[in-house]
């Protein structure tokens, strides 16, 4: 056994989060794609069976009240809130991330001072965010200004209405400075909207402490909510009385069952709701969040950094020199919970890794991505993945 294997074993033995792995349905595969789809918590199938057989099968429509279906979007939002550093009453769960990006960007332009006609968008954003922001800009008469996050402070001006940024870059794993960038946006009189898809559940976000205005995020990555599980929308309490959603659906009405032709928004984060909640995936997500009971985000972040440090060390020790180049920053303050490696022939390399039981993914043309979910990934996984990568590249 190599020194790195011995160290991995010792690190796993000392890991306070290691017992959480048993809460998930996992096999001998090294699963490093939780930044795309989180693993299944073991108890969720039984909960879904209960929802199907009793709540839907027996109670049927009564479950909207008796089983708490109607209040699920806000109830589950309050469970996500501590993970992203928000007080209760500011997060509503529902719809997709894309739909919530649309709500947030349009609402941000309506919150901004009059006369501002520019929306700054992360130039390297996940494509859908850019597509949605562009559509929102066309509909509201604004102009999109693509800008690298580091250049946002210099790009801000009296015409800036809103800024849409990713907390962690989906391709490189770079962590952007949410506190400083939010402060710069506010100093310019604009509204800050953050996409938390690659940070929530992997590192502290502290939305309230840093004064974020609006935020969106998915729940199927580090929150393990399941494929297509509903996303969430954060509306800071100070903005809720005037939050003006571009999708004023019936479930966000102050009296939804009055069925009146005129729209009157409900109070609070409920204003972010649109249509009938997707109950089956919503309740699967709620059950999945049980794995977070008693888990602190700070401990998750500490393990994430230790895992990615160790993986990079193993890659440097095992992989032939010059075959891969880290894209993810080495500095902890600039790193999310994934490691991206630039590699020639990335696609066949990843296919070979998967065939060897190491599952990551890639971003064309040449980036291998390895996501580290601290709730169930261990140091032995990191060492084995680096060793398998070396074998593939040596062969």
Smallest CA-to-CA distance from 297 within 360, 222, 226, 371 is with 222
| Catalytic status, residue 318 | no
| Catalytic status, residue 303 | no
Kindly name the residue from 31, 126, 222, 372 that is annotated as catalytic: 126
Please list the residues that pair with 147 across neighbouring strands.
122
Q: SS3 for 109? A: helix
Q: SS3 for 358? A: strand
Strands 324-326 and 191-195: unpaired
- Largest distance between two CA atoms of the chain: 72
Kindly name the residue from 31, 102, 170, 220 that is annotated as catalytic: 220
| Catalytic status, residue 126 | yes
DSSP code at position 296: -
- CA–CA separation, 301 vs 12, rounded Å? 16
Kindly name the residue from 15, 95, 169, 195 that is annotated as catalytic: 195
| Catalytic status, residue 129 | no
Kindly name the residue from 174, 221, 335, 384 that is annotated as catalytic: 221
Contact between 109 and 142 under an 8 Å Cβ cutoff? The reply is: yes
Find the helix packing angle between 346-355 and 379-394, rounded to 10°: 120
- CA–CA separation, 384 vs 380, rounded Å? 6
Contact between 265 and 245 under an 8 Å Cβ cutoff? The reply is: yes
Q: Number of H helices and number of E strands within the chain?
A: 12, 13
- CA–CA separation, 37 vs 395, rounded Å? 29
| Catalytic status, residue 213 | no
Kindly name the residue from 369, 372, 381, 387 that is annotated as catalytic: 369
DSSP secondary structure, 38-64, as one string: PPPBTTHHHHHHHIIIIIITTSGGGHH
Q: SS3 for 265? A: strand
DSSP code at position 15: -
Contact between 92 and 70 under an 8 Å Cβ cutoff? The reply is: no
Positions marked active-site:
126, 195, 220-221, 369
């Amino acid at each position: 056994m190599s020194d790195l294997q011995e160290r991995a074993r010792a690190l796993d033995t000392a890991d306070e989060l290691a017992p959480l792995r048993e809460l998930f349905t996992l096999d001998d595969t090294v699963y490093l794609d939780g930044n795309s789809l989180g693993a299944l918590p073991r108890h969720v199938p039984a909960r879904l069976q209960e929802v199907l057989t009793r709540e839907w099968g027996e109670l049927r429509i009564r479950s909207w009240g008796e089983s708490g279906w109607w209040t699920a979007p806000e109830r589950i939002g309050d469970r996500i809130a501590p993970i992203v550093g928000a007080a209760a009453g500011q997060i509503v769960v529902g719809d997709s991330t894309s739909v919530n990006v649309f709500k947030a960007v349009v609402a941000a332009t309506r919150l901004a001072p009059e006369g501002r006609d520019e929306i700054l968008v992360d130039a390297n954003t996940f494509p859908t965010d850019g597509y949605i922001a562009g559509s929102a800009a066309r509909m509201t008469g604004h102009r999109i200004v693509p800008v690298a996050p580091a250049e946002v402070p210099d790009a801000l001006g009296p015409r800036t209405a809103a800024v849409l940024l990713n907390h962690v870059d989906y391709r490189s794993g770079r962590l952007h400075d949410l506190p400083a960038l939010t402060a710069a946006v506010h100093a310019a009189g604009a509204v800050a909207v953050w996409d938390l898809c690659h940070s929530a559940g992997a590192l502290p976000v502290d939305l309230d402490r840093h004064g974020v205005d609006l935020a969106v995020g998915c729940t199927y990555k580090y929150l393990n909510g399941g494929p297509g599980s509903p996303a969430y929308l954060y509306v800071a309490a100070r903005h809720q009385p005037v939050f003006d959603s571009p999708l004023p659906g019936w479930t966000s009405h102050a009296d939804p069952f009055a069925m009146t032709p005129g729209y009157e928004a409900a109070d609070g984060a409920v204003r972010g709701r649109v249509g009938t909640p997707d109950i089956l995936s919503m309740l699967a997500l709620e059950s999945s969040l049980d794995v977070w009971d008693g888990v602190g985000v700070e401990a998750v972040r500490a393990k994430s950094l230790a895992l990615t440090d160790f993986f990079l060390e193993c890659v440097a020790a095992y992989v032939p020199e010059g075959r891969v180049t880290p894209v993810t920053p080495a500095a902890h303050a600039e790193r999310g919970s994934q490691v991206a490696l630039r590699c020639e022939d990335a696609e066949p390399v990843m296919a070979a890794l998967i065939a060897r039981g190491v599952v990551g993914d890639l971003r064309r043309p040449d980036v291998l991505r390895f996501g580290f979910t601290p709730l169930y990934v261990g140091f032995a996984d990191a060492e084995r993945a680096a060793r398998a990568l070396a074998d593939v590249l040596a062969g």
